Amino acid sequence: MRIPYDVPKIHMYSRIRKSPYFYASERHGVQSYTVCNRMYHPRHYDDMITEYWKLVRDVTLWDVGVERQVEIAGPDALTLANMLTPRDLTKCAVGQNKFLLNTDVDGGVINNPVLLRLAEDCFWFSVADGDVLLWAKGVASQAGLDVRVSEPDVAPVQIQGPKSQALMRDLFGERVLDLKYYWSSEFELNGMNVVVGRTGYTGEVGYEIYLRNASRDATKLWDTLLEAGVPHDLAVIGPCQIRRVEAGILSYGSDIALDNNAYSDYAFLNPYEIGLGWTVDDQEADFVGKQALARIAEEGVSRKVVGVEIGGDPLIGYLDDYLPVTDGPQRTAKQIGQVSSAFWSPRLEKNIGFALVPTEQSENGTKLTVHTAARGEVDAVVVPRPFVDPKKETPKGLAAAGTSR
């Protein structure tokens, strides 16, 4: 089935980097790409609703080599890593993963990576769409620390869906099932060295496999996963945007870094505006943005990202642009915010998404008006996020008690 919306051609040439899995994933009939971290990123191989059901019912394989790793290693690795985030990494054990934010001097979020602590003196920041490597190098160059900042030859894939644990057991044995949510460990697979983590860009049970020596072994890993996946109905898809919105996961570049549109004031959103104030730890160590975030926490914020249900016909496909949110349906209505992500949820049978609105319009139950080019004005209402499984019971799966992010 073809994707039910037009996709402009994207040129393939040397200026944009290819994932180590690019040619392996291309075999499955990629229908559309986007660009993330200056790399081609396969988005769809099939209709997005079909891919959604493959994810929530079976198990799926994603090429997420665009999650480029920033390695911080050396005697002062912990000091530098701690400077780059409001989270207190002195409380992060070896083998533990952390969802965190990178903030600038004004407290604005400049990335939302997952961190892996591989050793006492080695960290990986698995970054979203943004150049954390150059930023970390810049901070390190001024800090006078004994540390190395580099991009290792590592590329992840994701295994996501309710059958993922059965597939991973076939690949790695029973030990892989001992991994707790947001923990990782080293494994060997057919002569390949990998780090496996209990994380992912969905609200489903899932894993990320970080392949070392990826430029050499990517196709071998891909084919190994495909072969093992046959009994489990493994399907190759792109990151499922519908499911990540259901899970309340914000996308960096659209929901967080709203610096690419006319409505924004070109100031990055801060952790409190996006509902992730819990990632700002009370700690003695200094970090970039510490003073600004302390001031923001005391003064409060004037805008927030909220969950919304949007009326009208199903929103299939991607928003070409942000949808204006106004204070009423009249022609003279004033824009007060914008919808950054919105999709039809087949499970909820509703249009759901995220909107940036003034704090006074952010309470659950608040009525909004959203303007769309194709459908005109439609009603919307502020609702809690995540939209599905707010306690994340599904992705924790068989993990033991005491897990943390």
List b or e across 229-256, with b for residues whose CB sees 16 or more CB atoms inside 10 angstroms. Answer: beebebbbbbbbbbbbbbbbbbbbbbbb
Q: Report CA dihedral (244, 245, 249, 252) to the nearest 10 degrees.
A: 100
Q: How much is the pLDDT for 234? A: 98
Separation of first and last alpha carbons in the chain: 38
Q: How much is the pLDDT for 5? A: 54
φ, ψ at 175 (rounded to 5°): -60, -30
Q: How much is the pLDDT for 257? A: 80
Q: How much is the pLDDT for 86? A: 98
SS3 state at 191: coil
CB pairs under 8 A, 24+ apart, for 290-294? 290/86, 292/103, 292/105, 292/106, 292/107, 293/86, 293/103, 293/107
370, β-bridge pairs: 325, 378
- Cβ neighbours for 9, distance < 8 A, ≥ 6 positions apart: none
List the pLDDT tens digit at each of the 405 positions of the chain: 344 556 678 888 899 999 999 999 999 999 999 999 999 999 999 999 999 999 999 999 999 999 999 999 999 999 999 999 999 999 999 999 999 999 999 999 999 999 999 999 999 999 999 999 999 999 999 999 999 999 999 999 999 999 999 999 999 999 999 999 999 999 999 999 999 999 999 999 999 999 999 999 999 999 999 999 999 999 999 999 999 999 999 999 899 987 777 787 777 899 999 999 999 999 999 999 999 999 999 999 999 999 999 999 999 989 888 999 998 777 778 899 999 999 999 999 999 999 999 999 999 999 999 998 777 899 999 999 999 999 899 998 754 333 456
Exposed / middle / buried, residue 74 (Cβ in 10 Å: 0-12, 13-18, 19+)? middle
- Cβ neighbours for 311, distance < 8 A, ≥ 6 positions apart: 351, 378, 379, 380
What are the angstrom distances between the C-alpha of 366 and each of 356, 363, 384? 13, 6, 11
Instruction: Say how many C-beta atoms besides its own lie within 10 A of residue 173's C-beta.
Output: 10
Q: How much is the pLDDT for 339? A: 96
Q: How much is the pLDDT for 381? A: 97
φ, ψ at 132 (rounded to 5°): -70, -30
Q: Is the peptide bond before 86 cis (omega within 30 degrees of 0)?
A: no
Which domains are present in the chain?
22-68+153-238 (3.30.1360.120), 71-131 (3.30.70.1400), 248-269+302-383 (2.40.30.110)
